[in-house]
Amino acid sequence: MKFTCLNKGNGFHLPPCYVLHVSGFRILLDCPLDLSALTVFSPVPADFCPSLLDESSNCSFHESLNMESKSAKRHKIEKPLDAKDLIYAEPWYKTLKNLHIWDPSFIDIVLISSTMGMLGLPFLTRSKGFSAKIYATEATARIGQLMMEDLVSMHMEFRHFYGSEESDSPQWMKWEELELLPSFLREMAIGQDGSELGGWMPLYSSVDVKDCLQKVQKLKYAEAACHNGALVIKALSSGLDIGSCNWTVESPEGNISCLSSSIFVSACAMEFDYRALQGADLILYLDFSSEDVIEDVEHHDNYSSPTTNNLSTLSDEDNWKELNECLLRNDESIEESKKLAFICSCVVDSVKAGGSVLIPLSRLGIVLQLLEQIPISLESSAVKVPIYVISSVAAELLAFTNIIPEWLSKLRQEKLFSGEPLYSHIELMKGKKLYVFPAIHSPNLIANWQEPCIIFAPHWSLRLGPIVHLLRRWCGDRNSLLVLEDGLDADMALLPFKPIAMKVLHCSFLSGIRMTKAQPLLKILQPKIVMVITIQLSSSLCNAILSLSLSLSLSLPPHTTHHHPYTTTHHTPQPFNSVY
Amino acid sequence: MEDVPLANKLLLLANVARLHSSIMAYSGAGQEVGKSCVVVSINGKRIMFDCGMHMGYDDHRRYPDFSLISTSGDFDSALDCVIITHFHLDHVGALPYFTEVCGYNGPVYMTYPTKALAPLMLEDYRKVMVDRRGEEEQFTADHISACIKKVIAVDLKQTVQVDKDLQIRAYYAGHVLGAAMFYAKVGDSAMVYTGDYNMTPDRHLGAAQIDRLQLDLLITEFINVAAGGKVLIPTFALGRARLVLTILLIQELCILLDDYWERMNLKVPIYFSAGLTIQANMYYKMLIGWTSQKVKETYTTHNAFDFKNVCNFDRSMIDAPGPCVLFATPGMISGGFSLEVFKHWAPSEMNLVTLPGYCVAGTIGHKLMSGKPTKINLDKDKQIDVRCQIHQLSFSPHTDAKGIMDLVKFLSPKHVILVHGEKPKMASLKERIQSELGIQCYVPANCDTVCVPSTVFVKAHASEMFFQSCLSPNFRFLNESSEDTSDSILERTNGKSRFQVTDERVAEGILVMEKSKKARVVHQEELLLMLGEKQHEVQVAYCCPVHVDNLDEARRDHISADDVLGLSNKCSWLQQLFTELTTDFPGWNIQNLGEHLQVESFHVSLCWKDDCPYRIIDSPRKKLAAVFFCCTWSVADGKLAWQIISTMEKCRLTVQNLNQNTD
């Protein structure tokens, strides 16, 4: 078996991407898009209104603007970044640097672990010679399709503004142009050594998305898919978000479990099915999220240490029970719900002060909970403001979440069994508390418009979609609130909207296995070998594995660079192999 | 002949496991729907499929006889799990009784829709029993909710590991929302229990879907009921009548009506009476993913269970003029709203009452279904005229014989068991399955036990040498006779020579199974090395008499044994035999080695022993007229040896040489 890491990923929105060679099959795990790199582009300029301008006028406008910004750039190179430094062009999208050097015809199987791991898939499926079989869970495929369609529809605004596509390589990609970029932006665009430039692609079309989805074999959780009579592939719930999964591959060489970011007790998605990963020969420990929550480890040490001490003295059965209890302790979910409650209180405060609230549509699970809890908070503080969800796919997405009890957490399933709707948004819509519109210029929205209000809208990169226009409207209002998820470079993301008077609430949500739970988890799973990648290997995980006397296989450390705080998002390790 | 010395080392591990199916407590008589409850033991695991109730009885006979599973009542150790295929009472009705009253605490599996809808059915039934008939409760509302809490919901195709050895999986059955066929596997033995299923796609449910599985046993339901929903529409589309539909779960029909009204632009109102129907609709909306593709696809624009033409009914509307359609509960007209409406509407022949497929004995529904009463006693002194039309309705499609044949053919199990149907029809279907498909089929009676053998696969490791030998070509050259009318290309090009080359690879190896070792397939030559044994060869010996002319006379002249020996030398009978054989077997390399002759492993020499153990003598006369040759050969050359021997037995040697020499 051979394992190659293509990208270690970065947080929830950019899952890691890697290639496995098993029994003669090449398996690609996940195919994400680095959407945070979109921030090198400018959003559609402020005074552009898609419904009012016709093609010819905006072309000249664009030209003049371009000239102006260009001359500005020449003089300002090493000064602090300015909105004018951003690239004014139809954005391209950054696929993983190391993926495009792979011949797509060499891939036999693609496994998709989450909707985020799917967004780059049409680039792969539309390339020549691609013939791999793609596996994804039904829910991931459906939600992923909606996300991609939304991306395509949001991108249309750029098309209208910049006119139809120019040539194979746009102006901004020429070396002379890139040279002019401030060093920080340049690095985001092309990487340290310029090697990442090849990863940029013009966005796929909705036809590409449709074709891509046709090549996906959709599975249920724990459905055994037999590939070519040689491999048995199963998707097991990971708890990260609705439909996300960990893959297991049974091959003649042994059983491999790919442990992606997982959450034990999830409020929305079906719980992490870790018991099904028991008895694997090899676990690829691919949950890189522990880096993000490393500061929390000390915080939670008081939970884990008594447990670990007790372990040796207990009988096997008690031990087992203890371990399971340790994993399923709801401290994490309590913490997450506290975070949500805090967001709700901030939302209420802003609305009371007469400001509006803008929440980017990012994690489905979080958005669904907020959609449910914000109205409750509003009601309890006797505030009446409308909530709008603005996205071309919002209606379908919300309808979909109410018909998929099989993919939801135990708690949500209880709602089905007691005859209540899975989520309250249908009732809220009927009660005229929640409105769903496909676009910001929908006639109904304009007719309905009321401020202050609470808006959920894409895209979390703050570069495209309705959120851009709304942000421009409210960024000067100090009573308004923007809720931003960590993981995105906030300075960079907010650059085009500066100066900003509105409040920005940064929040981070649990997006993987905590270090304190890694040890009991591995103890329960008892794999023969655990494989981790050194870049993410903190000493505590390493110790956890060694203390269980499991075999540990370390990948070679990737090419290391100095750790500039901005480069973390775009730093991708060199391809490296580890063979055992 | 066997390589006897080696046989002792080959220990076959294949212990043939038995898969017992004991079919208990189902009813297959007449038109009534019986109760389903099938217990299967498969490689030591015991599964109960369905736990149904018989609607025709109101005493203990309505429940399956659980004492057949365990006389001690310790059901937890007697059963590994209970699986429910769908929410109809004849499949789930006895479950609360079994778990809460009998005390079964093990796992119970059903699909998500079944888990959601079964408690509604159970509660409705319980209410009818208690409210209407004041009967002592067999189980309470708390029992139902406690029972359902224990249920583990499963998704279609999800592989569920019940324990280390037992694996189950649900497949879409298309009978009602959430109906599933269940696959169970223990070790290498596998089976499917279908429950009720439907092989043709319905308007709102898809057709049954299952993988091509390797099965030892298929247990399939067999009920032949025509779907009534389609019959109904022309009846009430006339728009005159007021119609009461008193059915437990009518979502299926609602969709049908709603759609029909939409298409035909009918203005006749459709009403729901409050209660179960509306409650159930909530579930149907959430479970739309379990309906057919067509219904499912439209969920965003219009959830098919958000009925456009259906509205709530108010008591004041009962006597309002004009036609309407009303869905009312309880289904068996055992009381409540449906009874109230029935009292008002029954006397007019313009009206139509439809009843569910089954009604509990003692309810008005049951009375209406049995015979055509013109008057019905509501209680001791109250009586109403019944002039309205009565229609009995079953709209959940069951499969027919063709559907069963298709499924059996598709799955090609080793054995089929038919349950839950009418005796004569089942017998004829059994015949068809056995004759057309060649599959053993059983139609057990209640409480019968059927045993079928199960499969055990042995995984064997194949040696390198075995693979090598498999890869080597096995060419055969055939010279075909000219009468043969094969139309090969060779024949056409040069008419005379018909020459064919075939290469049928034959894998020859030895399967070695030893205790506590993995089974292996090895090449013949590896075997000895592997077992650390010497090679033994089996030699066959036969002492063959060859007639010699004038031998009697010669014997008389030379009496002593020495003389006979001398005689032979002089006569060189071996030499004579050599000559004979070389002419008779021209293709063989026959060697004369002085003391003996040899062809391949065939070895022949003169035998002088009078009591040679390899000699078979029929008459002493023959003995005198013959000399004996001892022949030995190894088993492989048996065919050649017997050809040579038959030649030897026919040929005649002489003593002539002797005479010449003495002369």
Task: Report helix, strand or coil for A47.
Answer: coil
DSSP sequence for B94-112: THHIIIIIS---S-EEEEH
Flag the least confident range among B238-247, B453-462, B464-473.
B238-247
Q: Which helix (H) or strand (E) holds B117?
A: helix B112-127
**Can you tell me which residue has the tokens 């009518």?**
B250
Structure tokens at A253: 């060489």
Task: Report helix, strand or coil for B78.
Answer: helix
What per-residue confidence (pLDDT) applies to A456? 96
CA A150 to CA A396: how far, in whole Å? 11
Query: Which residues of chain B lie closer than 8 angstroms to A422, CB-CB?
Result: 286
Residue B519 corresponds to which amino acid? A
CA A123 to CA B574: how far, in whole Å? 88
**Can you tell me which residue has the tokens 């001690």?**
B72
Count Cβ neighbours within 10 Å for each residue of A318-331 and write b for 16 or more, e otherwise.
Answer: ebeebbeebbebee
Q: Is residue B249 part of a domain?
A: yes
Q: Considering B417, B432, B455, which residue would you say is the last residue of a domain?
A: B455
Q: Is residue B238 part of a domain?
A: no
Flag the least confident range among A492-496, B79-83, B161-165, B569-573.
B569-573
CA B604 to CA B573: how far, in whole Å? 12
Model confidence over B501-551: pLDDT tens digits? 777 777 788 888 777 778 888 888 888 887 787 877 888 888 888 887 777
B146: contact with A, CB 8 A cutoff? no
Cα A395 off chain centre by: 21
B298: contact with A, CB 8 A cutoff? no
Upper half-sphere CA count for residue B272 (Cβ side, 13 Å): 24
Q: Are B599 and B639 in contact (CB under 8 A)?
A: no
What is the mean predicted confidence (pLDDT) over B623-628? 74
Cα B159 off chain centre by: 20
Query: Which residues of chain B lie closer than 8 angstroms to A403, CB-CB?
Result: 285-289, 299, 303
Model confidence over B178-208: pLDDT tens digits? 899 999 998 888 999 998 888 877 667 778 8
Cα B574 off chain centre by: 66
What per-residue confidence (pLDDT) applies to A564? 27
- Mean pLDDT (chain B) is 75
Q: Is the predicted pLDDT of residue B273 greater than 70, yes or no?
A: no
Q: Is residue B487 part of a domain?
A: no
Flag the least confident range among A160-174, A210-224, B219-233, B647-661.
B219-233
Supply the ipTM of this predicted assembly. 0.82
Q: Is residue B478 part of a domain?
A: no
Upper half-sphere CA count for residue A181 (Cβ side, 13 Å): 22
CATH label of the domain that carries residue B359: 3.40.50.10890
Nearest chain A residue to B282, by CA: A419
Q: 3-state SS of A402-430?
A: CCCHHHECHHHHHHHHCCCCCCCHHHHHH
Q: Is residue B272 part of a domain?
A: yes
Residues B465 and B579 in one domain: no
Could you give the residue numbers annotated as active site of B? 221
CA B598 to CA B459: how far, in whole Å? 45
Q: Is the predicted pLDDT of residue B244 greater than 70, yes or no?
A: no
pLDDT band at B484 (very low <50, low <70, confident <90, very high): very low
**Can you tell me which residue has the tokens 């399709």?**
A145
What per-residue confidence (pLDDT) applies to A374? 95
Number of domains in chain B: 4
Residue B642 corresponds to which amino acid? W
CATH label of the domain that carries residue B107: 3.60.15.10
Q: Is the predicted pLDDT of residue B137 greater than 70, yes or no?
A: no
Q: Is residue B380 part of a domain?
A: yes
What is the mean predicted confidence (pLDDT) over B289-300? 74
What per-residue confidence (pLDDT) applies to A540? 56
Alpha carbon of B391: minimum distance to chain A alpha carbons (Å): 31
Alpha carbon of A433: minimum distance to chain B alpha carbons (Å): 19
End-to-end CA distance of chain A: 7
CA B474 to CA B503: how far, in whole Å? 5
The total number of residues shown for chain A amounts to: 580
Count Cβ neighbours within 10 Å for each residue of B229-241 and write b for 16 or more, e otherwise.
Answer: beebeeebeeeeb
Q: Are B168 and B160 in contact (CB under 8 A)?
A: yes
pLDDT band at B557 (very low <50, low <70, confident <90, very high): low
Residues B431 and B569 in one domain: no
Model confidence over B261-272: pLDDT tens digits? 777 777 777 777
- Give me the total of CB pairs closer than 8 Å, taking one residue from chain A and one from chain B: 61
Residues B197 and B63 in one domain: yes
What is the mean predicted confidence (pLDDT) over B57-75? 81
Closest CA to B26 of B79, B77, B87, B68: B68
What percent of chain B stands above pLDDT 70?
72
Q: Is residue B56 part of a domain?
A: yes
Give the number of other Cβ atoms within 10 Å of residue A561's Cβ.
Answer: 12
Kindly list the distances between the CA atom of residue A343 and the CA atoms of A295, A487, A511, B502, in Å, as whole numbers in the listed order. 21, 17, 18, 79
Residue A166 corresponds to which amino acid? E
Interface test with B, best of A406, A409, A427 (most B CBs within 10 A): A406
pTM: 0.76
CA A38 to CA B326: how far, in whole Å? 58
CA B41 to CA B136: how far, in whole Å? 35
Residues B120 and B145 in one domain: yes
What is the mean predicted confidence (pLDDT) over B351-373? 73
CA A444 to CA B585: how far, in whole Å? 105
Residues B388 and B310 in one domain: yes
B209 or B255: whose pLDDT is higher?
Answer: B209
Q: Are A22 and A253 in contact (CB under 8 A)?
A: yes
Q: Are A268 and A365 in contact (CB under 8 A)?
A: yes
Alpha carbon of A58: minimum distance to chain B alpha carbons (Å): 36
Residues B201 and B319 in one domain: no
End-to-end CA distance of chain B: 51
CB atoms A396 and B300 under 8 Å: yes
Query: Which residues of chain B lie closer than 8 angstroms to A410, CB-CB?
Result: none
Q: B510-512 and B519-522: which strand pairing? A: antiparallel
CA B243 to CA B384: how far, in whole Å? 18
What per-residue confidence (pLDDT) applies to B318? 77
Q: Which helix (H) or strand (E) holds A211?
A: helix A206-214
Alpha carbon of B168: minimum distance to chain A alpha carbons (Å): 11
**Can you tell me which residue has the tokens 């829709």?**
B113
Closest CA to B123 of B96, B91, B104: B96
Model confidence over A213-234: pLDDT tens digits? 999 999 999 999 999 888 999 9
Q: B591-592 and B597-599: which strand pairing? A: antiparallel
Q: A17-22 and A25-29: which strand pairing? A: antiparallel
User: CB under 8 Å to A332, separation ≥6 — which residues?
Assistant: A263, A264, A265, A510, A514
CA A174 to CA A194: how far, in whole Å? 12
Residues B72 and B209 in one domain: yes
Residues B384 and B404 in one domain: no
Exposed/middle/buried for residue B349 (C-beta within 10 Å: 0-12, 13-18, 19+): exposed
Closest Cβ–Cβ partner in A222, A395, A420 for B159 = A222
Task: Report helix, strand or coil for B151.
Answer: strand
The crossing angle, in degrees rounded to 10, of helices B638-650 and B573-584 is 120
Exposed/middle/buried for residue A478 (C-beta within 10 Å: 0-12, 13-18, 19+): middle
CA A364 to CA A397: how far, in whole Å? 9
What per-residue confidence (pLDDT) applies to B368? 79
Residues B112 and B216 in one domain: yes
Residues B358 and B465 in one domain: no
Kindly list the distances between the CA atom of residue A571 and the CA atoms of A97, A187, A258, A562, in Å, as whole numbers in the listed order. 10, 10, 23, 10
Kindly list the distances between the CA atom of residue A88 and the CA atoms of A49, A80, A85, A177, in Å, as whole numbers in the listed order. 16, 18, 9, 11
Residues B451 and B465 in one domain: no
A338: contact with B, CB 8 A cutoff? no
Domain that holds residue B76: 23-225+397-455
Q: B539-549 and B217-221: which strand pairing? A: unpaired
CB atoms B279 and A419 under 8 Å: yes
Q: Which helix (H) or strand (E) holds A38?
A: none
DSSP sequence for B29-66: SSSS-----EEEEETTEEEEE-----TT--SGGGS--G
Residue A131 corresponds to which amino acid? S
Upper half-sphere CA count for residue B412 (Cβ side, 13 Å): 5
Query: Which residues of chain B lie closer than 8 angstroms to A419, CB-CB?
Result: 116, 279, 282-283
Flag the least confident range among A505-509, B208-212, B311-315, B640-644.
B311-315
Q: Is residue B629 part of a domain?
A: yes
In order along its 580 residues, chain A shows pLDDT tens digits of 788 888 878 888 889 888 888 888 999 999 999 998 899 999 988 765 444 333 344 444 444 444 444 444 444 445 677 778 888 888 999 887 666 667 888 899 999 999 999 999 999 998 888 999 999 999 999 999 999 999 999 999 888 888 776 666 787 888 788 888 888 888 888 887 777 888 888 999 999 999 999 999 999 999 999 998 889 999 999 999 999 999 999 998 889 999 999 999 888 899 999 999 988 888 988 887 665 444 443 333 333 333 333 444 445 667 778 888 888 887 888 888 999 999 999 999 999 999 999 999 989 999 999 999 999 999 999 999 999 999 999 999 999 999 999 999 999 999 999 888 899 998 899 899 999 999 988 888 888 899 899 999 999 999 999 999 999 999 999 999 999 987 778 888 999 998 899 999 998 888 888 888 888 888 888 888 888 765 544 555 555 555 555 555 554 433 322 222 222 222 333 333 333 3
CA A132 to CA A152: how far, in whole Å? 24
Closest CA to A495 of A201, A202, A196, A185: A185
Q: Considering B413, B432, B455, which residue would you say is the last residue of a domain?
A: B455
A400: contact with B, CB 8 A cutoff? yes
Q: Is the predicted pLDDT of residue B39 greater than 50, yes or no?
A: yes
Nearest chain A residue to B151, by CA: A417
Residues B198 and B90 in one domain: yes
